[in-house]
Chains A and B, each alone.
Chain A
Amino acid sequence: MIARAGLRLDAGGAAGKAAHARMFAGPEAIERAGSWIGLSVGLSGAAAPHWPRLWVPLMQSVPLQGCAIESPGLALVEKRLAELREIAEDEGTPYSFAAEADLVQFLDAAGAVNRPATYLMEDGSLRAKWVNLQGEQVAVQFVGGGRAQLVFFVDRGGKAMARIVGQDTVEGALCQVRSLGLLPLLCR
Protein backbone atom coordinates (compact mmCIF):
# COMPACT_ATOMS: atom_id res chain seq x y z
CA MET A 1 0.00 0.00 0.00
CA ILE A 2 1.21 3.49 -0.74
CA ALA A 3 0.69 5.59 2.34
CA ARG A 4 1.51 8.89 0.69
CA ALA A 5 3.32 10.36 -2.26
CA GLY A 6 6.18 12.80 -2.20
CA LEU A 7 4.76 15.12 -4.79
CA ARG A 8 2.69 18.20 -5.34
CA LEU A 9 -0.32 18.73 -7.54
CA ASP A 10 -0.68 21.78 -9.72
CA ALA A 11 -4.31 22.57 -9.16
CA GLY A 12 -4.37 25.79 -11.17
CA GLY A 13 -7.04 25.40 -13.83
CA ALA A 14 -6.76 26.51 -17.42
CA ALA A 15 -9.47 29.04 -16.67
CA GLY A 16 -7.00 30.82 -14.44
CA LYS A 17 -9.04 30.65 -11.24
CA ALA A 18 -7.58 29.09 -8.15
CA ALA A 19 -8.91 25.58 -8.07
CA HIS A 20 -9.49 23.81 -4.78
CA ALA A 21 -8.16 20.31 -4.88
CA ARG A 22 -8.07 17.56 -2.32
CA MET A 23 -5.86 14.52 -2.49
CA PHE A 24 -6.87 11.59 -0.41
CA ALA A 25 -4.14 9.57 1.20
CA GLY A 26 -6.15 6.39 1.60
CA PRO A 27 -5.36 3.34 -0.50
CA GLU A 28 -8.65 3.63 -2.37
CA ALA A 29 -7.52 6.95 -3.82
CA ILE A 30 -3.91 6.08 -4.59
CA GLU A 31 -2.80 3.48 -7.02
CA ARG A 32 0.63 2.60 -8.29
CA ALA A 33 1.62 1.16 -11.64
CA GLY A 34 5.32 0.75 -12.18
CA SER A 35 7.00 4.11 -11.73
CA TRP A 36 3.68 5.98 -12.02
CA ILE A 37 1.26 6.88 -9.30
CA GLY A 38 -2.43 7.57 -9.77
CA LEU A 39 -4.30 9.95 -7.51
CA SER A 40 -7.95 10.81 -7.23
CA VAL A 41 -8.29 14.55 -7.36
CA GLY A 42 -11.46 16.48 -6.67
CA LEU A 43 -12.04 19.96 -8.00
CA SER A 44 -14.65 22.20 -6.40
CA GLY A 45 -17.97 21.86 -8.12
CA ALA A 46 -17.32 18.37 -9.37
CA ALA A 47 -19.27 15.51 -7.91
CA ALA A 48 -17.12 12.98 -6.13
CA PRO A 49 -17.82 10.06 -8.48
CA HIS A 50 -16.50 12.09 -11.35
CA TRP A 51 -13.23 13.06 -9.75
CA PRO A 52 -10.52 12.19 -12.26
CA ARG A 53 -7.56 9.99 -11.57
CA LEU A 54 -4.35 11.85 -12.26
CA TRP A 55 -1.27 9.86 -13.23
CA VAL A 56 2.12 11.35 -12.44
CA PRO A 57 5.63 9.91 -12.30
CA LEU A 58 6.64 8.74 -8.83
CA MET A 59 8.85 11.24 -6.99
CA GLN A 60 8.21 13.95 -9.54
CA SER A 61 7.40 17.33 -8.06
CA VAL A 62 5.36 20.09 -9.60
CA PRO A 63 4.09 23.29 -7.90
CA LEU A 64 1.17 23.08 -5.47
CA GLN A 65 -1.57 25.66 -5.36
CA GLY A 66 -4.54 25.51 -3.05
CA CYS A 67 -4.26 21.82 -2.28
CA ALA A 68 -5.10 20.16 0.97
CA ILE A 69 -3.13 16.95 1.30
CA GLU A 70 -4.33 14.63 3.98
CA SER A 71 -1.04 13.58 5.45
CA PRO A 72 -0.62 14.56 9.10
CA GLY A 73 3.13 14.49 8.74
CA LEU A 74 3.20 16.70 5.71
CA ALA A 75 0.79 19.14 7.30
CA LEU A 76 3.34 19.64 10.08
CA VAL A 77 6.21 20.64 7.85
CA GLU A 78 4.69 21.73 4.55
CA LYS A 79 5.26 25.46 5.01
CA ARG A 80 8.85 24.99 6.10
CA LEU A 81 9.58 22.59 3.25
CA ALA A 82 8.27 25.19 0.82
CA GLU A 83 10.72 27.69 2.32
CA LEU A 84 13.58 25.24 1.99
CA ARG A 85 12.71 24.45 -1.62
CA GLU A 86 12.76 28.18 -2.31
CA ILE A 87 16.15 28.53 -0.65
CA ALA A 88 17.54 25.71 -2.77
CA GLU A 89 16.13 27.28 -5.90
CA ASP A 90 17.49 30.74 -5.03
CA GLU A 91 20.93 29.40 -4.25
CA GLY A 92 21.03 26.82 -7.03
CA THR A 93 21.79 24.11 -4.47
CA PRO A 94 20.40 20.57 -4.25
CA TYR A 95 17.05 19.65 -2.69
CA SER A 96 16.22 15.98 -2.36
CA PHE A 97 12.58 15.07 -2.94
CA ALA A 98 13.48 11.53 -1.97
CA ALA A 99 14.58 12.88 1.41
CA GLU A 100 11.34 14.85 1.66
CA ALA A 101 9.30 11.71 1.03
CA ASP A 102 11.26 9.86 3.72
CA LEU A 103 10.79 12.71 6.19
CA VAL A 104 7.03 12.72 5.71
CA GLN A 105 6.89 8.94 5.92
CA PHE A 106 8.74 9.14 9.23
CA LEU A 107 6.42 11.81 10.61
CA ASP A 108 3.34 9.81 9.59
CA ALA A 109 4.70 6.54 10.99
CA ALA A 110 5.63 8.22 14.28
CA GLY A 111 2.25 9.92 14.54
CA ALA A 112 4.21 13.08 15.21
CA VAL A 113 2.19 16.03 16.41
CA ASN A 114 5.10 18.34 17.26
CA ARG A 115 6.57 20.07 14.26
CA PRO A 116 10.30 19.48 14.04
CA ALA A 117 12.72 22.25 13.27
CA THR A 118 13.60 21.35 9.71
CA TYR A 119 16.77 22.17 7.84
CA LEU A 120 18.22 21.79 4.36
CA MET A 121 21.73 20.37 4.37
CA GLU A 122 24.44 21.24 1.87
CA ASP A 123 23.94 17.99 -0.06
CA GLY A 124 20.18 18.50 -0.39
CA SER A 125 19.22 16.11 2.38
CA LEU A 126 16.73 17.22 5.04
CA ARG A 127 17.24 17.22 8.78
CA ALA A 128 14.41 17.18 11.31
CA LYS A 129 15.13 17.99 14.92
CA TRP A 130 13.17 17.94 18.16
CA VAL A 131 14.67 19.20 21.42
CA ASN A 132 13.05 19.32 24.86
CA LEU A 133 13.75 21.50 27.87
CA GLN A 134 16.04 18.87 29.38
CA GLY A 135 18.29 19.13 26.33
CA GLU A 136 17.25 15.76 24.96
CA GLN A 137 17.32 15.65 21.18
CA VAL A 138 16.04 13.63 18.28
CA ALA A 139 17.79 14.69 15.06
CA VAL A 140 17.18 12.63 11.95
CA GLN A 141 18.84 13.53 8.68
CA PHE A 142 17.00 12.03 5.72
CA VAL A 143 19.44 11.39 2.93
CA GLY A 144 17.00 9.67 0.53
CA GLY A 145 16.63 6.04 -0.41
CA GLY A 146 15.10 5.20 2.96
CA ARG A 147 18.35 5.95 4.82
CA ALA A 148 18.87 8.28 7.77
CA GLN A 149 21.68 9.63 9.90
CA LEU A 150 20.88 10.02 13.58
CA VAL A 151 22.06 12.17 16.47
CA PHE A 152 20.20 11.51 19.73
CA PHE A 153 20.78 13.13 23.10
CA VAL A 154 19.25 11.12 25.94
CA ASP A 155 18.95 12.27 29.55
CA ARG A 156 20.24 9.52 31.84
CA GLY A 157 18.73 10.98 34.98
CA GLY A 158 21.41 13.23 36.40
CA LYS A 159 24.32 11.46 34.77
CA ALA A 160 26.04 12.90 31.72
CA MET A 161 23.74 13.13 28.71
CA ALA A 162 24.11 10.14 26.40
CA ARG A 163 25.23 11.24 22.92
CA ILE A 164 24.26 8.67 20.32
CA VAL A 165 25.30 8.83 16.67
CA GLY A 166 24.38 6.35 13.96
CA GLN A 167 22.91 5.46 10.61
CA ASP A 168 19.79 3.43 9.99
CA THR A 169 16.81 2.98 7.75
CA VAL A 170 13.93 5.39 8.22
CA GLU A 171 11.92 2.61 9.91
CA GLY A 172 14.93 1.68 12.05
CA ALA A 173 15.36 5.31 13.11
CA LEU A 174 11.82 5.32 14.48
CA CYS A 175 12.47 2.05 16.31
CA GLN A 176 15.50 3.62 17.94
CA VAL A 177 13.51 6.71 18.93
CA ARG A 178 10.95 4.45 20.63
CA SER A 179 13.48 2.21 22.34
CA LEU A 180 15.41 5.16 23.73
CA GLY A 181 12.20 6.60 25.21
CA LEU A 182 12.40 9.70 23.01
CA LEU A 183 9.00 9.40 21.33
CA PRO A 184 7.43 12.03 23.66
CA LEU A 185 9.60 14.65 21.97
CA LEU A 186 7.69 13.99 18.76
CA CYS A 187 4.28 13.25 20.22
CA ARG A 188 4.06 15.25 23.47
Chain B
Amino acid sequence: MPARGDRVADDEACVRYVPPRYTDNDMIDGGAFQLRDIDKGELSVNLLGTNDAGYEAAMQQVRQLFRLTVKKSGRFAQLEVAEVRAAFTEAAQLAALDVIHDPLPAEGRHAADSSHAAIINLPSPGSEYAALAGDLLAEKIRRLHPAI
Protein backbone atom coordinates (compact mmCIF):
# COMPACT_ATOMS: atom_id res chain seq x y z
CA MET B 1 0.00 0.00 0.00
CA PRO B 2 1.70 3.21 -1.11
CA ALA B 3 2.00 6.07 1.39
CA ARG B 4 1.11 9.66 0.75
CA GLY B 5 3.91 11.37 -1.14
CA ASP B 6 5.31 8.24 -2.77
CA ARG B 7 5.97 8.79 -6.44
CA VAL B 8 3.57 7.08 -8.82
CA ALA B 9 5.25 4.76 -11.33
CA ASP B 10 5.70 6.12 -14.85
CA ASP B 11 3.73 3.30 -16.44
CA GLU B 12 0.53 4.05 -14.52
CA ALA B 13 -2.48 5.78 -16.07
CA CYS B 14 -4.58 8.30 -14.19
CA VAL B 15 -7.90 10.05 -14.72
CA ARG B 16 -9.14 13.53 -13.86
CA TYR B 17 -12.83 14.39 -13.68
CA VAL B 18 -13.78 17.05 -16.23
CA PRO B 19 -17.06 18.86 -15.49
CA PRO B 20 -19.37 19.89 -18.38
CA ARG B 21 -18.14 23.48 -18.33
CA TYR B 22 -14.78 22.23 -19.65
CA THR B 23 -16.01 19.74 -22.22
CA ASP B 24 -17.45 20.89 -25.53
CA ASN B 25 -18.26 18.03 -27.91
CA ASP B 26 -15.59 16.00 -26.10
CA MET B 27 -12.94 18.66 -26.67
CA ILE B 28 -11.46 19.18 -23.22
CA ASP B 29 -10.19 22.55 -22.08
CA GLY B 30 -7.08 23.03 -20.03
CA GLY B 31 -9.23 24.76 -17.42
CA ALA B 32 -9.91 21.27 -16.10
CA PHE B 33 -6.22 21.03 -15.20
CA GLN B 34 -5.80 24.43 -13.59
CA LEU B 35 -5.44 24.64 -9.84
CA ARG B 36 -8.11 26.41 -7.83
CA ASP B 37 -7.56 27.90 -4.41
CA ILE B 38 -9.40 24.99 -2.79
CA ASP B 39 -6.96 22.50 -4.38
CA LYS B 40 -4.16 23.63 -2.04
CA GLY B 41 -1.52 23.16 -4.70
CA GLU B 42 -2.41 19.60 -5.62
CA LEU B 43 -4.58 18.54 -8.55
CA SER B 44 -6.63 15.44 -7.72
CA VAL B 45 -6.49 12.43 -10.00
CA ASN B 46 -7.28 8.73 -9.63
CA LEU B 47 -4.99 5.94 -10.72
CA LEU B 48 -6.16 3.23 -13.11
CA GLY B 49 -3.14 0.93 -12.87
CA THR B 50 -0.86 -0.20 -15.66
CA ASN B 51 -2.98 -2.69 -17.49
CA ASP B 52 -4.90 -1.53 -20.57
CA ALA B 53 -7.29 -4.44 -20.26
CA GLY B 54 -8.06 -3.53 -16.67
CA TYR B 55 -8.89 0.13 -17.21
CA GLU B 56 -12.64 -0.38 -17.51
CA ALA B 57 -12.83 -2.28 -14.23
CA ALA B 58 -10.58 0.31 -12.59
CA MET B 59 -12.85 3.08 -13.90
CA GLN B 60 -15.86 1.42 -12.30
CA GLN B 61 -14.01 1.40 -9.00
CA VAL B 62 -13.07 5.08 -9.44
CA ARG B 63 -16.72 5.99 -10.13
CA GLN B 64 -17.85 4.14 -7.02
CA LEU B 65 -15.32 5.80 -4.73
CA PHE B 66 -15.37 9.27 -6.27
CA ARG B 67 -16.39 11.79 -3.63
CA LEU B 68 -17.62 14.66 -5.75
CA THR B 69 -20.92 14.85 -7.59
CA VAL B 70 -20.42 14.13 -11.26
CA LYS B 71 -22.66 15.09 -14.17
CA LYS B 72 -23.74 12.77 -16.97
CA SER B 73 -22.22 15.10 -19.54
CA GLY B 74 -18.93 15.26 -17.63
CA ARG B 75 -15.99 13.03 -18.53
CA PHE B 76 -13.01 11.37 -16.93
CA ALA B 77 -9.91 12.30 -18.94
CA GLN B 78 -7.17 9.69 -18.97
CA LEU B 79 -3.48 10.60 -19.04
CA GLU B 80 -0.30 8.56 -18.75
CA VAL B 81 1.80 9.46 -15.72
CA ALA B 82 5.03 9.49 -17.75
CA GLU B 83 3.46 11.97 -20.17
CA VAL B 84 2.26 14.18 -17.33
CA ARG B 85 5.85 14.35 -16.04
CA ALA B 86 7.12 15.23 -19.52
CA ALA B 87 4.28 17.61 -20.44
CA PHE B 88 6.26 20.79 -19.85
CA THR B 89 9.57 19.88 -21.47
CA GLU B 90 8.84 22.36 -24.28
CA ALA B 91 7.86 25.12 -21.89
CA ALA B 92 10.89 26.44 -20.05
CA GLN B 93 8.71 28.79 -18.00
CA LEU B 94 7.09 25.87 -16.18
CA ALA B 95 8.51 23.59 -13.48
CA ALA B 96 8.38 19.86 -14.23
CA LEU B 97 5.31 18.12 -12.89
CA ASP B 98 5.22 15.11 -10.64
CA VAL B 99 2.51 12.65 -9.65
CA ILE B 100 2.35 11.35 -6.09
CA HIS B 101 0.16 8.90 -4.25
CA ASP B 102 -2.40 10.52 -1.96
CA PRO B 103 -4.62 7.72 -0.66
CA LEU B 104 -7.75 8.95 1.06
CA PRO B 105 -8.77 7.35 4.35
CA ALA B 106 -12.38 6.42 5.01
CA GLU B 107 -14.29 9.49 6.08
CA GLY B 108 -17.94 9.68 7.08
CA ARG B 109 -19.98 7.96 4.38
CA HIS B 110 -16.95 7.77 2.07
CA ALA B 111 -14.95 4.54 1.81
CA ALA B 112 -11.16 4.66 1.72
CA ASP B 113 -9.78 5.39 -1.75
CA SER B 114 -6.28 4.09 -2.39
CA SER B 115 -6.44 5.13 -6.06
CA HIS B 116 -6.39 8.83 -5.20
CA ALA B 117 -3.24 10.67 -6.28
CA ALA B 118 -2.15 14.23 -7.00
CA ILE B 119 -0.33 16.14 -9.72
CA ILE B 120 2.03 18.61 -8.08
CA ASN B 121 4.10 21.63 -9.20
CA LEU B 122 1.35 23.20 -11.31
CA PRO B 123 1.40 27.01 -11.50
CA SER B 124 -0.57 28.89 -8.85
CA PRO B 125 -4.21 29.73 -9.60
CA GLY B 126 -4.51 32.90 -11.61
CA SER B 127 -0.83 32.97 -12.52
CA GLU B 128 0.08 33.93 -16.07
CA TYR B 129 1.12 30.40 -16.95
CA ALA B 130 -1.78 28.49 -15.37
CA ALA B 131 -3.73 28.50 -18.64
CA LEU B 132 -0.68 27.36 -20.64
CA ALA B 133 -0.03 24.54 -18.16
CA GLY B 134 -3.65 23.42 -18.40
CA ASP B 135 -3.60 23.40 -22.19
CA LEU B 136 -0.35 21.45 -22.32
CA LEU B 137 -1.84 18.80 -20.03
CA ALA B 138 -5.06 18.70 -22.06
CA GLU B 139 -2.92 17.87 -25.11
CA LYS B 140 -1.81 14.69 -23.34
CA ILE B 141 -5.28 13.24 -22.89
CA ARG B 142 -5.28 9.73 -24.27
CA ARG B 143 -8.88 8.75 -23.76
CA LEU B 144 -12.17 9.93 -22.34
CA HIS B 145 -14.42 7.83 -20.10
CA PRO B 146 -18.08 8.55 -19.34
CA ALA B 147 -18.54 10.14 -15.95
CA ILE B 148 -21.44 7.85 -15.09
Contacts and interface: CB of A to CB of B under 8 A. Distances in A.
Interface of A: 80, 83-84, 87, 117-122, 127, 129, 131, 135, 137, 139, 141, 149, 151, 153, 160-161, 163, 165, 167
Given A117-B27, A119-B31, A161 B90 contact: yes
Q: Is the interface of A mostly helix, strand, loop or mixed?
A: strand
Given A83-B20, A137-B135, A151-B132, 18 more contacts: A80-B24, A87-B20, A117-B24, A117-B25, A118-B24, A119-B21, A119-B31, A121-B31, A129-B27, A139-B131, A141-B131, A149-B131, A151-B131, A153-B135, A160-B90, A163-B132, A165-B129, A165-B132
Given A87-B21, A149-B131, A165-B129, A122 B27 contact: no
Interface residues of B, number: 20
Contacts of A120: 21
Interface in B28-56: 29-31, 36
B139 interface: yes
Q: Which of B21, B27, B131 counts the most chain A CB atoms within 10 A?
A: B21
A127 B29 contact: yes
B128 interface: yes
15 contacts: A83-B20, A84-B21, A87-B20, A87-B21, A117-B24, A117-B27, A119-B24, A135-B139, A141-B131, A151-B30, A163-B90, A163-B136, A165-B128, A165-B129, A167-B128
